[in-house]
Chain A
């Protein structure tokens, strides 16, 4: 790990003013430290935003929920309001990583953490995402890699929070030297075709200063399922969030987002469409689950993920019908 300067920023403004040259933001530091230790990056300065006041609130206003970027996963998973209204978000926060990590990891850092692909994470592999020529996963060891949009680079997006947040139609507020802008999460993440070296559109001198989740329509419920090979200390091989607005047992509107499926959180549009106006039952859930995998292009070793996704998508849909 290289030597670096350390700045403790007291305000958003101060942090932004420090974000020049080879400086990076440090929130919980869980992901950043790993990257430094692995030698993937050698920043000159770490700008610690952990002590900035006011960025760790969870508030509900007229237009919905506002989450500060420094709210930890542990807090999100236990917050009453989140648990009750935005259940899937609390579930995702509570299933990610491990209790120790959840105590440190922040919501902003979770959205911005870099991919966990084992080629990307090792210095020895100079892959496309690091400016190299090839994606080692495509003809390599790809059992945990993407099944959609995986032609150029087969990473899966690592953020658990992004899955429910995108399903809820959340936006992030980005504040930089030129002011603040608000971006739909859907447009925040970028595919390898758009830019293979990055996963989102945040500028080097910008901070996520808020995450906004719109007010839910009445009779809307959400459910998140993470399916890993094991439960402790592991990542999902597949995860899903289904947000359904219902009338009786008829689905009015469905929002279904898959994690660990593609380089970005992956909206299962066909599945969503198939549910609209249907009675939620085993049959419609099964059909939606099948459609969620339509168009998948599995690699040599990750075809099994299709079955896992189908199972959890169906279960996530049915769980809400029963709750």
Chain B
């Protein structure tokens, strides 16, 4: 599909994701590919650089577009940016007034329900819709002629032609119905008569690898990515259900020669690690309200990408992009699975077209688990070689994983990129199974990769007799993580850590550490408009959507900082493709991508504002200063801070001051507005984000229950724009990480291929009583890359948690649990087998 082709070329998480791919160079700008394009004027600017509070803190000079604002000072010198600012929409949310997609009600709106397959693999012989069509309230039925999300055969002739899409997983959508009430739609959905020819299936990745396993695809198959990643590379060799392995290393190619690396090693550690399939389980399920009209389509969507949804609708329905409008006022979570129109969107739009009325389709929780994405499983064999002093000589990862009917189950990112090592090879293979296709999920491949890598580094440290934090100081080149280790170790009291398995009672406590790595991506389709009206009100508009991270509030902060106002003074209108283009929120790009555009636009409108106000006051714009909701008027330029001739600095005192509102009333016209997009990063070398998490756990060795008691999470994200929402992201990342480590598991019945726990009761998720004390610590790292120098936090925050917990479990018990979720059954089995070898004290 055209959309996916183009998305793949973007510097999205797609590239970081998984089987195979290299980590992209940071921020690849389409304009890079056009060296002939006329370059705009530039100027030199000195920006803060380094980590605040460390010796490395300094400045850096960059060449930046001449029309961009001056360097933004470090947070401590700012009034609004960098200050913890409660969400502007917090009240609306907690009082239930925020309008989510599920809350949208349009006049004449119909309700839809989907008919899904109850077989994991089947040909559909016939579909009889007549009963459903005649059911009370029914206004339209629709039978899918194509299923999005599954990989597709490269050579379609390998499969017998079929009248209906072949069913490749239980829960695959087949048809749908729209009726005047939800109850009627639900009832009617039961009246479709679908005649199946069930085919052999396989849902277990170990079984699927066997020679005689039923085939998911009778030939090689590929899956495209989305704006949030997902989908492995195209054209990979495939044998049976196994696709790949794809060999890669840091930035793409394998590095060095691992055989030589292992030959040089004085110590080698290796192990096999397994991780489960996790579903996104966002509180708001996938859903849209589609309103098809003669002149175009309006879609209210629960999405992470208003623009990517619009693009896919336009492509599928052959509409101009200008004829499709996508609105996402509030969004109840996506975690990577909500970037496109998807089957849900297509079904609703088709039904709306047929019925001539808006159609609402919100998936049930069960369909949400089954059909709209998950984090692939992994089986990772990891081997690491090192010198006695800890220097790494070789890293070799071989992994299998299943993305169901999708691709991209690799887990190699951390092994490729976290540590300095001359010889690195990752080999990642996808295993097709008859299960719902994976989708990008909060740091694709990375939590699973860290579970293996960080436990192996822990083992290496023990084998070398080096403290795990000290070993990382030797092999990790990131200055940010070095500082994070120092801060985190101090906060958790790392010096309390004892030898593994020191506790003598049945409940044993331990400490563990693990690290995160993520990459700076920038989405260039990031634009904002800022308006100032004569009554002093200020608005910012952008297509960007707030998926819960808090960008709504951050945009207000940026504009407020520039105009000398408070964040709450700014009206933020976002989540609508009718506004200037916003980035899709995947790959932790949102804040880093959109805030420079917001600042640039605010800066532009400020210049116009000052000019008009100065001319009305009969002075010069440079003599005006915005701050504290006031416009101060000076008799000289107040920014000349270099003092008088004698070297004494003086404080210019304003000769008068008027409120922002009074000043705005002097504007020549009712409203002034400026629009700006983002320029390419000032510096384009590769950049990463990371974090270090320390976990303290208690393991009941008699019941096998692990309790995480405390997590200290130290992270960097460039300039923390709103520490409060950054901390919220870290809290969420840690909780989702604990949930992944200990509880969540999509369990498929081996005999029928059906999911046995498609709800939120038996699909277990961390709850209030499992919430440990979480301490988030932020470091402020400046790299002079944009007019805000902001980065991302959403994904890095969840990457290391499961690994930190696993290392703490080892420290507590002296036994490694190499398989997730670390349930009582697995913990007891690990303890049992260690006891057999005389390994555990009780």
Contacts and interface: CB of A to CB of B under 8 A. Distances in A.
B620 interface: no
Contacts of A125: 752, 754
A233 interface: yes
A47 interface: no
A304 interface: yes
A122 B749 CA distance: 12
Interface stretch (B78-86, B252-260, B333-341, B699-707): B699-707
Contacts of B764: 229-230, 234
Interface string A304-323: 10011011100000000000
B761 interface: yes
A122 B754 contact: yes
Contacts of B742: 229-230
Interface in B749-795: 749-752, 754, 756-758, 761-762, 764-770
B118 A124 contact: yes
Contacts of A1: 183, 186
B829 interface: yes
Given A140-B751, A141-B747, A307 B702 contact: yes
A195 interface: no
B494 interface: no
A308 B824 contact: yes
Contacts of A122: 754, 756, 758
Contact of A136 (B506, B705, B751, B768): B751
A1 B702 CA distance: 43
B395 to A, nearest CB: 34
A141 B761 CA distance: 16
A151 interface: no
B767 A307 contact: no
A141 B769 contact: no
A233 B761 contact: yes
A231 interface: yes
B828 interface: yes
B743 interface: yes
B823 interface: yes
A237 B767 contact: no
B824 A118 contact: no
Contacts of A231: 767, 769-770
Nearest to A306: B828
A304 B769 contact: no
Given A231-B767, A233-B761, A234-B764, A141 B749 contact: yes
Contacts of A233: 761, 765, 767
Given A118-B756, A231-B770, A141 B750 contact: yes
A232 B767 contact: yes
A256 B724 CA distance: 51
A139 B751 CA distance: 8
Interface string A219-236: 000000001011111100
A1 B364 CA distance: 14
Nearest to A237: B824
Interface string A78-108: 0000000000000000000000000000000
A140 B755 CA distance: 11
A118 B828 CA distance: 23
Contact of A311 (B703, B757, B825): B703
B757 A232 contact: no
Given A118-B756, A234-B764, A307 B751 contact: no
Contact of B749 (A136, A143, A234, A311): A136
Given A119-B756, A237-B824, A304 B704 contact: yes
A229 B828 contact: no
Contacts of A139: 751
B751 A308 contact: no
B756 A141 contact: yes
A301 B828 CA distance: 12
Nearest to B831: A307
Interface string A102-123: 0000000000000000110010
Interface residues of A, number: 27
Contacts of B750: 140-141
Nearest to A303: B825
A23 B209 CA distance: 51
Interface of B is mostly: loop
B136 to A, nearest CB: 11
A119 B756 CA distance: 7
Contacts of B705: 227, 229
A312 B703 contact: yes
Nearest to B506: A311
Contacts of B702: 307-308, 310-311
Contacts of B756: 118-119, 122, 140-141
A54 B770 CA distance: 39
A235 to B, nearest CB: 8
B700 to A, nearest CB: 8
Contacts of A232: 767-770
Contact of B743 (A124, A229, A310, A311): A229
A307 B747 contact: no
Nearest to B747: A141
Contacts of B506: 311
A195 B342 CA distance: 47
Contacts of B700: 311
Nearest to B187: A2
A164 B756 CA distance: 30
Contacts of A304: 704, 824-825, 828-829
A308 B704 contact: yes
Contacts of B761: 233
A232 to B, nearest CB: 3
A307 B704 contact: yes
B824 A229 contact: yes
Contacts of B704: 304, 307-308
A310 to B, nearest CB: 8
Interface in B86-118: 118
A141 B702 CA distance: 23
A136 B627 CA distance: 70
A1 B184 CA distance: 10
Interface string A293-307: 000000001101001
Contact of B825 (A136, A301, A310): A301
Contacts of B118: 124
A64 B766 CA distance: 40
B541 to A, nearest CB: 40
A285 B427 CA distance: 52
A237 B705 CA distance: 11
Contacts of A307: 702-704, 828
Nearest to B757: A118
Nearest to B702: A311
Interface string A225-268: 00101111110010000000000000000000000000000000
Contacts of A136: 749, 751-752
A183 B770 CA distance: 40
A232 B118 CA distance: 31
Central interface residue in B702, B703, B704, B705, by most chain A CB within 10 Å? B703
A302 B702 CA distance: 15
Interface in B792-842: 823-825, 828-829
Interface of B: 118, 183, 186, 506, 700, 702-705, 742-743, 747, 749-752, 754, 756-758, 761-762, 764-770, 823-825, 828-829
Given A140-B752, A227-B703, A311-B506, 13 more contacts: A1-B186, A118-B757, A118-B762, A124-B754, A139-B751, A229-B823, A231-B770, A232-B767, A301-B825, A304-B704, A308-B702, A308-B828, A311-B702
Question: Which 10 A-B pairs have CB atoms at the shortest separation, nearest pair first?
Answer: A232-B767, A311-B702, A231-B769, A304-B825, A118-B756, A232-B769, A304-B828, A233-B767, A308-B703, A311-B703
12 contacts: A118-B762, A140-B752, A229-B743, A230-B766, A233-B767, A234-B764, A302-B825, A304-B828, A307-B828, A308-B824, A310-B702, A311-B702
Interface of A: 1, 118-119, 122, 124-125, 136, 139-141, 143, 227, 229-234, 237, 301-302, 304, 307-308, 310-312
